[in-house]
Structure 1
Amino acid sequence: MSTRKSYEAKADAEFKEVQSELSALAARAHKAVAEGRKESERILQAAQSKHDEALHRFELLKRAGEDGWESVKTTFEAAWSELRLALGPQG
């Protein structure tokens, strides 16, 4: 086999190997995206739940009488803090 043909055959074999590696990398990337999406959805659901709780506590705060307002305020502030924590640094 000539040097040229040998070189081309070797390069062809290496390209086939690299294509296989790229396919494996693409599969891992797709899996990571799917796992990331699941985690993001879980975080979103948790934050939405905290939001709903804080909103409920805020509605109770607005309707509270003078004698119970401070107590309701405390529970609202706790719910608000949990919401802010659920949103993380960007929240």
Structure 2
Amino acid sequence: MSQRDAYERKLAAQLDELNAEIDRLKARAAKAEADSEIDYQRQIDDLKARREQARQKFHELRDASEDAWEEVRQGAERAWHDLSDAVRSASKKFR
């Protein structure tokens, strides 16, 4: 397995984990009181937007040529870290 394949598998697995965490936050939002639900919903909407950015970067990474792969990987890393940090922050905020 190439480094690229391993990296793409790692990102796909991490995206699955973050999707599950977002789903857990959505479930908490459904249970929250009305005021808290608004905060949850804003946070979830932000996470969904960040997730979409990370997903787009992942697709760009998969489709990148060998020459462009490293540059695209760096952009994907930034989007990934941004999403991961936002999910962790939201999880801590709404425990």
Q: Normalising by structure 1, what TM-score?
A: 0.61
With a CA cutoff of 8 Å and minimum separation of 6, indicate the structure with the bigger relative contact order. Answer: 2
Map of 2:56 onto structure 1: 56
The number of equivalent residue pairs is 60
Where in structure 2 are there 5+ consecutive unaligned residues? 1-31
Q: Distance in 1 between matches of 2:45 and 2:82?
A: 14
User: Shift in Å at residue 49 of structure 1?
Assistant: 0.5
Q: Percent identity?
A: 28
Q: Any idea what the Cα deviations from partners look like across 1:57-81, whole Å, max 9, x if unmatched? A: 0000000001110100000000000
Map of 2:85 onto structure 1: 85
Q: Which residue type is aligned with residue 65 of structure 1?
A: S
Please, what is the CA RMSD of the aligned residues?
A: 1.9
* 1:32-51 → structure 2 map (5 Å cutoff): 33-51=33-51
Map of 2:68 onto structure 1: 68
Q: Any idea what the Cα deviations from partners look like across 1:3-54, whole Å, max 9, x if unmatched? A: xxxxxxxxxxxxxxxxxxxxxxxxxxxxx92221000000000011110000
Runs of 4+, deviation exceeding 3 Å: none
Larger radius of gyration: 1
* 1:7-26 → structure 2 map (5 Å cutoff): none
Q: Distance in 2 between matches of 1:37 and 1:49?
A: 18
